[in-house]
Amino acid sequence: MTSRALSADDLSLTAKAEPVSTAAAMPRDGAAALFAQPMAPILTAVGVTVLMVVCILFARSAGLVTALWGAGGLATAVWLRNSRGPTYDLCFGALIAVGVLAAQFLVGNTRLISLMFTVANMIEIVGAVLLARRFAPTLNLSTVEGAARFLLSTAVVAPLPAAAFAAVMLQAMTGADPYLTFKTWWFGHALGLAVVGGFGLALTRRHLTMLRKPWRMAEAGLLFALLIGSCLLVFVHLDRPMSFVMLPLLLLIAARFRILGVTAGLVIMAVLSIGGAMAGYGPYADSLPRGEAALLAQLLVLFGYLPILLVAALLDERDRLADRARAGQRRAELASEAKSRLLANVAHEIKSPVGGVIGIGELWATGQLGPVTATQTEMAQMLVKTARQVEALSHDLLDVARAESGAVKVELRPTDVPGLLEDVRRQTALRPEAQGVKIEVLTEGDGLIALADSQRLSQVLSNLASNAVKYGAAGGLVVLYARRAPDAVRIEVTDRGAGLSAEKQAQLFEPFNRLGLERTTVEGHGIGLALAKRLTELQGGSIGVTSTVGEGATFWVEMPLA
């Protein structure tokens, strides 16, 4: 069975996707390269042996069972990060088993006890690896889901079968209390898998690059010096339970150094809290046996401090999502710039040939190119009309491109809104589609002076008025209305047409979206409202619409009050 650990590339901004399944490939970040060395299995077996000897000699709290156990976490982390296939797994597992057995012999356990402990530890380590590959295949502790999956499957569940096996066997061989054996094994080994295994999986290039800058190294040194000093004070020198004072410091480490800092801090806290209890120091040294004091220290780290690992994972996940959002925004900006350049180039390329078509069409229609029939004259006029539509489209495209690229400059000056509305009314009334439509200008109150670019505001209002005439002509009335709003001048263009549904209102200001009117006789390109919105925002104003189906529509613009 193979697995794939999360690599630095998976965590970088250029990552295309999160790994979602197991694979034989190893992560090639700095820490992974260390784990992938040919000597890694042998060094891991040696490390397991050393850790086991130290823990057995100094941390036995329930007969032959120790309260602090980091060997399983080390073996699990390296195994998960260095897996290369079934054959490698068998060899790696055999080396770890040899290391465990050697440690048992070194501390003086009998052959039968040593064999039993070796079997129990291998059940736990193999189970942790299999569970991690099944339920946390990405091995990514930098997400809340990944960290929770790892902790629940590997740290909580994996030690249970081994703890039950050791409890039953030790009762049969030595008469040890099975309940005490079970809980001491479970808590101690769960803690080791969570903090030591978590620290091993958190060693990625993304986290290690945080320490490249000298000031970050100094900050890390200061925070961890404070952590060690605080642990010695709380767990060794004080005779009152003051462990809550460690939480702010651990949260600060989580905020500054994320998952790597928290796992390193938990390793330190587990060693000093449980080690202090086993050495007879700490708040419970005088009132409880050492085994019970060590058990309380285990529970404190497991349930009091370990949840901060999820806080660090949440912060890490937020950072990565923010980085992706910034990268996505940058890509969108580059795409928008490319689109604007394309629109500008297309508009420029269209203008010259269309101008020639218009000129030839007008000469043809007036007979200056020779005698023409009535049918030819009509065709020439239709040609000129179509060419002028294309010319108008090119101008709109050019305006959109300029607006989106920031090339449109606005000069904000006090602008008389009632006078501007009257000019818009006159211009709109001359349009062919305005025949039979009454256009009124209404104002409410005095001092309707907006801070705006009069030319650009006129362009926006002319677009709204022409749309009201085209799409709302069935109502026979278009009203241009202005009034004061809080710190603004509100301008409304109201028609009595068919109105707009909520779905169409949501799509209204999208470029080239004509809301299903493409097949009607009403001319348009779907650019005007998008351009109007951009021009309004450039002047510091806002634009919107209120409408009910069957009752017409009211487009409104609010500009700052001069």
* Tokens read off for 511: 């470029």
pLDDT at 14 (0 to 100): 38
Cβ proximity of 123 and 161 under 8 Å: yes
* Tokens read off for 11: 């965590």
Query: What is the helix (H) or strand (E) element at residue 341, kind and residue range?
Result: helix 308-365
* Tokens read off for 522: 């009403």
- Scan for tokens 């050393």, then name that residue: 50
Concatenating the DSSP letter of every residue in 94-134 gives HHHHHHHHHHHHHTT--HHHHHHHHHHHHHHHHHHHHHHHH
Residue 561 bridge partners (DSSP)? 450
Q: Is 502 left (phi over 0), alpha (psi -120 to 50) or beta?
A: alpha
Helix (H, G, I), strand (E, B) or coil at 494: strand
* Tokens read off for 245: 């004072």
Closest CA to 93 of 66, 118, 68: 118
pLDDT at 401 (0 to 100): 66
pLDDT at 113 (0 to 100): 94
* Tokens read off for 467: 């749309």
Q: Whole-model pTM above 0.75?
A: no
Residues 266 and 250: their CA atoms lie apart, in Å, by 9
Residues 414 and 435: their CA atoms lie apart, in Å, by 33
pLDDT at 77 (0 to 100): 93
Regions in the chain scoring below 50 on pLDDT: 1-34, 518, 521-522
Residue 442 bridge partners (DSSP)? 481
Residue 553 bridge partners (DSSP)? 495, 547
Query: What is the helix (H) or strand (E) element at residue 392, kind and residue range?
Result: helix 374-405
List, in order, residues 6 or more apart from 85 with CB less than 8 Å away. Answer: 2, 24
List, in order, residues 6 or more apart from 552 with CB less than 8 Å away. Answer: 472, 475, 494, 495, 496, 497, 498, 499
pLDDT at 409 (0 to 100): 76
pLDDT at 20 (0 to 100): 36
